[in-house]
A = this chain, B = another copy of it.
Amino acid sequence: MDHSLIGALSASRAAAQIRTGTLSCEELMLSCLARIAQREPQVGAWQFLDATRALERARAADKLAPQGPLHGIPVGIKDIIDTVDMPTTLGSQIYAKRQPQWDAACVAALRAAGAIVLGKTVSTEFAYFQPGKTRNPHDLLHTPGGSSSGSAAAVADCMVPVALGSQTAASVTRPAAFCGVYGYKASHGEFSLSGIRPFAESLDSLGVLARSVDDIVLMRSVLLGGIPIDHRPLAAPPRLAVCRTAQWSQAEPQAQNALETVVQACRKAGSVVSELELPAQFAGLIDAQKKIMAYEAAHNYVFETTSCPGQLSAAFLALTESGRNVSRHDYASAKCEVELARNILRSLAVDLDAWISPAAIGEAPLATSGTGDPLMSRMWTALQGPSLCVPVGRGAQGLPLAVQLVALAGHDDELLNAGLWVGTLLETA
């Protein structure tokens, strides 16, 4: 088979072909490695790669009967997630040589299912704003988004079918949107974060970057310990709404158009798509998210800010400084404000499987301007529900546009079922 075709396979299809013997783990790995050899000098998606060992493991996997659902599937792991056999730098020069003594729980779960860790993907510094070396594979002058920059770029560029990311503000959704791939941010608390340094514990969630919703469903099942998830095509269209949010006017017209296109397509396919209007209690949530994030980051990074401030970026120092200036009272108020809104949302959205909302302001900006604005995801991340970034064509500069589906906390299955439906709709449109 043509390697470029193999490299474009989804993890689900590749795994199925490996099971039936029409594809070998070695072929799959070789095609990923060939793509990386060709493109990595420009894209810079990888913080650490172990091509030799990955190939050895693929060959070893070919000698075994497939046991787990990810048998022989190469995966990328965001470099804030610990791996026992590869350095984990957290995107910081402080930890340039850090070698964890364990696998994060999510990595162990992927490996137990047969996945082969190809390497560590570039993260911004501690998954905050200071960019790494990665560029947008669709246009190397542009940012891939952050903080899961390398995971999104590697998946978008067919270097690897799936990769793990994480989100505290918009760190899965934004890079997925900018790179034109699916990005699933799980409900807060949905997956174990053991082996991932906390950034802001009220907000941190694990995520998956992939080129198909099927792959996200598969990864989710594995990350939950291999429980079978019933994701059959829906008998009826999903119960959707559109939520333009108070940030709507800050979205570029082409991002607004992308959203309206999706809404129309869903309506045409039989989903009612009601309007989800957020009441006044949601107005302060973006500020609340910023306060919670800054406060918790300041408390989580006391070691680095007191011991080696000279090795931290100005952006990170400013964040932790601002977090130290958030009073206990203001922090508690921000948490209360979010909890109140979460309770209101629960009744507003009780009859919804998911709602459609902007994923980003627009196309990926130039890399020189940073990793883009997390604006469109801050509120949803604070509310702790799951989200799925869904690519929707290209913008004026030829870069991807996207929307996100969002759901109530704990409704990850409903979200992904809706995502399968919407994804199929858009891909076959």
User: Which A residues contact B (CB, under 8 angstroms)?
Assistant: 84, 95, 98, 101-105, 107-109, 111-112, 189, 191-195, 197-198, 201-202, 224-225, 227, 296, 298-304, 306-307, 324, 327-328, 332, 410
Contact = CB atoms under 8 A, between A and B. Distances in A.
Given A107-B303, A112-B302, A227-B328, 10 more contacts: A105-B300, A105-B303, A189-B202, A191-B299, A192-B201, A192-B296, A192-B299, A192-B302, A225-B302, A225-B324
9 contacts: A98-B101, A103-B302, A104-B303, A105-B301, A191-B299, A192-B296, A194-B198, A195-B303, A225-B302
A45 B105 CA distance: 30
Given A103-B307, A189-B201, A410 B332 contact: yes
Contacts of A95: 101
A299 B198 contact: no
B198 A302 contact: no
A227 to B, nearest CB: 6
Contacts of A195: 303
Contacts of A192: 198, 201, 296, 299-300, 302
Contact of A194 (B102, B108, B301): B301
B302 A224 contact: no
Contacts of A296: 192
Nearest to A194: B300
Nearest to A198: B194
Contacts of A298: 225
Contacts of A111: 306
Given A189-B202, A192-B296, A227-B328, A302 B197 contact: no
A111 to B, nearest CB: 8
A189 B188 CA distance: 14
A193 B198 contact: yes
Contacts of A301: 105, 194
Contact of A303 (B103, B191, B193, B201): B103
Most chain B beta carbons < 10 A, residue from A104, A197, A202, A299: A299
Nearest to A82: B303
B299 A105 contact: yes
A306 B225 contact: no
Contacts of A105: 299-303
A87 to B, nearest CB: 10
A303 B102 contact: yes
Contacts of A112: 302, 306
Contacts of A332: 410
A104 B307 CA distance: 12
A193 B201 contact: yes
A118 to B, nearest CB: 19
Contact of A108 (B109, B302, B324): B302
A108 B328 contact: no
A84 B189 contact: no
A222 to B, nearest CB: 11
Contacts of A109: 302
Contacts of A194: 197-198, 299-301
Contacts of A104: 303
Contacts of A303: 84, 102-105, 107-108, 195
Given A112-B306, A306-B112, A307-B103, A299 B189 contact: no
Contacts of A300: 105, 192, 194
Contacts of A302: 103, 105, 108-109, 112, 192, 225
A68 to B, nearest CB: 11
Most chain B beta carbons < 10 A, residue from A111, A202, A302: A302
Contact of A224 (B101, B102, B328): B328
A301 B101 CA distance: 13
A40 B363 CA distance: 64
Most chain B beta carbons < 10 A, residue from A95, A224, A306, A327: A306
